Chains A and B, each alone.
Chain A
Amino acid sequence: MSHRAPGLIPALVRFPGAAARQDAWGRLLELTAGGAVLSTAAPLAKGEDLTLSFELAGEELRAVPAKVLHAEPDADGQTLADLRFTDELSRRELSRRLLDALARRL
């Protein structure tokens, strides 16, 4: 079961305090319960930790912890990153909301 949302979901990208990095933003090209593909203007590196906040079917998911599995420049010179959600509870919550959203076709 999969579906394409009417638009690309915007996401707020925040980094741990120790990273001393500015908040960034991007778009989710793909979203599953286990991870996401993020397009962002912010440079990202493999292994980097971050949190994503985004809205799915009208509900806000705040600060979902994720790790960068892979990052590479996309065709426009921005960053295309494979993310894995690292928190089991967040993954379950996201899975539930995705199933709900897909059942309602957003």
Chain B
Amino acid sequence: MADIGVLGGDPQDREALSGLLGEMGHLAYEAGRLEEALEVSRERRPRAWLLVDGAGVDAETLARELRRAFPLLPVMVALKTRDARRAVGLMRVGAAEVVAPPWTPVELKASVSKTLRFQGTALSPLRVAPRRRSGLLFALAVGAFFAFALTQAASRRAEKARAAAAAVTHAWDLPVSHPAGLAFDGESVWVVDWFSQSLYAHSTKDAALGEVRHLTAETPVSAHFAGDSVWTIGADGTVARRMRDAKLTVLQRWPGVARNPAGIVFDGLYLWTLDGRARRLYKRLPDPDLTVAGVYRVPGVKPVGLAYDGKTLWTLDAADRSLRRHNLDRPDEAVELVPLSVYGDGKEVPTGLAFDGTRFWTSAEPRKGGGPARLRRHPEALR
């Protein structure tokens, strides 16, 4: 079951679609206008939106606006008039699925299912061999079916266990006491510890400690892995671009360019640095001067961590113990707020944030000292 928003100008259309979604077991939130839809998105956080196109309502504009505000939220469109070109045009502006009229439970169910499931097109210049479906293959398939039937119960149990594990926040004590930042290199989560002036790689499975990199001449507070490079930022505001080798050899260094550094990420085009004290995000060109292309005020009280999920920026706030999502084009507006309930008791202070492609990781120190610093892997559903 998923929460799905239904946006359309005609109450009858909304009612019809909400009814169909309800029959499928989904919970529908209706909105008559874009403003209402944005409000519902903020308050209810639906998994997807279903827009009605036609009868004076331009779903293309609505889809653009919704995706601008919530880039990761899938949008479906229900056409009131069948038009294949229109459908393709809507998909090109971001509609995940377009449902043709008349709206039937079968069509709608398929579209919702695909919307909540699909990834991107797999591209390859080489032609893949067509799927062969010979008699032998059929016999093998029958055999496989029975094998599948025998193992289905075990698979379900395993899936339940995996889902249960994915919904749990895991925490591990760290061997260091002053983690200031986190970074993900594609395999491991790296803890940036300012006190020991080192970076520690931890396994994403069990947080087992792997490699260690010492930056003895600096006091690193944050790092970000981007392609063949590693960006680091020190307590004195020095930004460095490094090779991903055993010594993290410096390729270029910009002394003192970022004040009160709390985070650094590279989105593939711009380098973003976070000024934790002034609550400012700096958008920089990766040119010889790290030219500042924009400065944005970060909502919140005490931002201490910065991460990039491939589409949007996220900041970690140590004061209200929550994550905020920011669009790249308007990062001064938080488009989503995710409270981190594990820090609700206030005994620990979050210090660093990273995203591993599926889940967020945070580091934290005990508020009054005396205990170990911790590394946490948050549930998949958090994002």
Which of B94, B110, B120, B128 meets A41, CB within 8 Å?
Answer: B110
Contact B121 A4 (CB under 8 A): yes
Chain B 70-89 interface residues, beta-carbon cutoff 8 Å to A: 82, 84-85, 87-88
Instruction: Write 26 A-B pairs (CB below 8 A) sorted by A numbering.
Output: A3-B123, A4-B120, A4-B122, A7-B96, A7-B121, A12-B84, A13-B84, A30-B122, A30-B124, A31-B124, A32-B126, A32-B127, A33-B126, A34-B127, A34-B128, A35-B130, A39-B114, A54-B88, A55-B92, A70-B133, A75-B113, A77-B106, A98-B125, A99-B125, A102-B123, A106-B123
Given A25-B87, A25-B91, A70-B130, 10 more pairs with CB closer than 8 A = A2-B122, A4-B123, A10-B88, A10-B91, A25-B98, A34-B126, A77-B109, A95-B125, A98-B123, A102-B125
Q: How far is the CB of B113 from chain A (nearest CB, A)?
A: 5
A27 and B118 contacting across the interface, CB-CB below 8 Å? yes
Judging by beta carbons under 8 Å apart, are A30 and B121 in contact? yes
Give the chain B neighbours of A2 by CB distance below 8 A: 122-124
Interface mask (A1-15 → B, CB under 8 Å = 1, otherwise 0): 111111111111110
Evaluate whether A30 and B128 lie within 8 angstroms (CB atoms) in the complex, with A8-B118, A10-B91 already known. Answer: yes
A44 at the interface (CB under 8 A from B): no
Give per-residue flags for B40-75: 1 if the beta carbon is below 8 A from chain A beta carbons, else 0: 000000000000000000000000000000000000
Q: Is B131 an interface residue (CB 8 A)?
A: yes
Q: For the complex formed, measure the closest distance between the CB of B115 and the CB atoms of chain A, giving whole angstroms.
A: 10
User: By the criterion CB–CB under 8 Å, are A76 and B109 in contact?
Assistant: yes
Indicate if the CB atoms of B121 and A31 lie closer than 8 Å. yes
Does A29 sit at the interface, judged by CB under 8 A? yes
* B contact residues vs A (CB 8 Å cutoff): 82, 84-85, 87-88, 91-92, 94, 96, 98, 100, 106-107, 109-111, 113-114, 118-128, 130-131, 133
Interface residue A87 (Cβ < 8 Å from any Cβ of B): no
Residues of A at the B interface (CB closer than 8 Å) are 1-14, 22-25, 27-35, 39, 41, 53-55, 69-70, 75-78, 82, 84, 95, 98-99, 101-102, 106
Q: Which 6 A-B pairs have the closest CB atoms?
A: A34-B127, A10-B91, A23-B84, A76-B110, A5-B120, A2-B124
| Contact B123 A5, beta carbon cutoff 8 Å | yes
Q: How many A-B residue pairs have CB under 8 A?
A: 117
Q: Which of A3, A5, A12 contacts B85 (CB 8 A)?
A: A12
**Docked pose: A78 CA to B107 CA in angstroms:** 8
A82 x B118 contact (CB < 8 A): no
Q: Which residues of A contact B122 (CB under 8 A)?
A: 2-5, 29-31
Are the CB atoms of B131 and A29 closer together than 8 Å? no
Least CB separation from B98: chain A residue:
A25
Contacts of B109 in A (CB 8 A): 76-77
User: Residues of A contacting B114 with CB < 8 Å?
Assistant: 27, 39, 76, 78
Contact of B130 among A11, A84, A95 (CB under 8 A): A84
**Once the chains are docked, how many angstroms separate the CA of A2 from the CA of B114?**
23
Asked if residues A23 and B128 are in contact (CB atoms below 8 Å), the reply is no
- Tell me if B84 and A25 are in contact (CB < 8 A): yes
Report the Cα distance A95→B82, complex, angstroms. Answer: 32
CB distance from A59 to the nearest CB of B (A): 13
A16 to B110, CA, bound (A): 27
Q: Which residues in A have their C-beta under 8 angstroms from that of B119?
A: 4, 8
CB nearest to A80 among chain B residues:
B131
In angstroms, Cα B133 to Cα A82, docked, is: 12
Verify A7–B120 contact, CB threshold 8 A.
yes
**Set of chain B residues within 8 Å of A12, measured between Cβ atoms:** 84-85, 88
Find chain A residues with CB under 8 A from B107 CB: 41
Q: A32 to B122, alpha carbons, bound, how many Å?
A: 8
B95 to nearest A CB, angstroms?
Answer: 8
Report the bound CA distance from A11 to B113 in whole Å.
19
What CA separation (Å) do A3 and B121 show in the bound complex? Answer: 8
Chain B residues whose C-beta falls within 8 Å of the C-beta of A75 in the assembled complex:
113
**How many Å lie between the Cα of A38 and that of B229 in the bound state?**
38
Q: A1 and B125 in contact (CB under 8 A), knowing A10-B92, A25-B88, A69-B130?
A: yes
Nearest A residue to B129, CB-CB: A34
When distances are taken between beta carbons in the complex, the residues of chain A under 8 Å from B127 are 32-35
Contact yes or no, A27 B84, CB < 8 A: no
Q: Smallest distance from the beta carbon of B78 to chain A beta carbons, Å?
A: 13
Nearest residue (CB) in A for B107 is A41
Smallest CB–CB gap between A19 and chain B, Å?
A: 14
A13 to B125 Cα, complex, angstroms: 22
> Which B-chain residue is minimally distant from A2 (CB atoms)?
B124
Q: Which residues of B contact A39 (CB under 8 A)?
A: 114
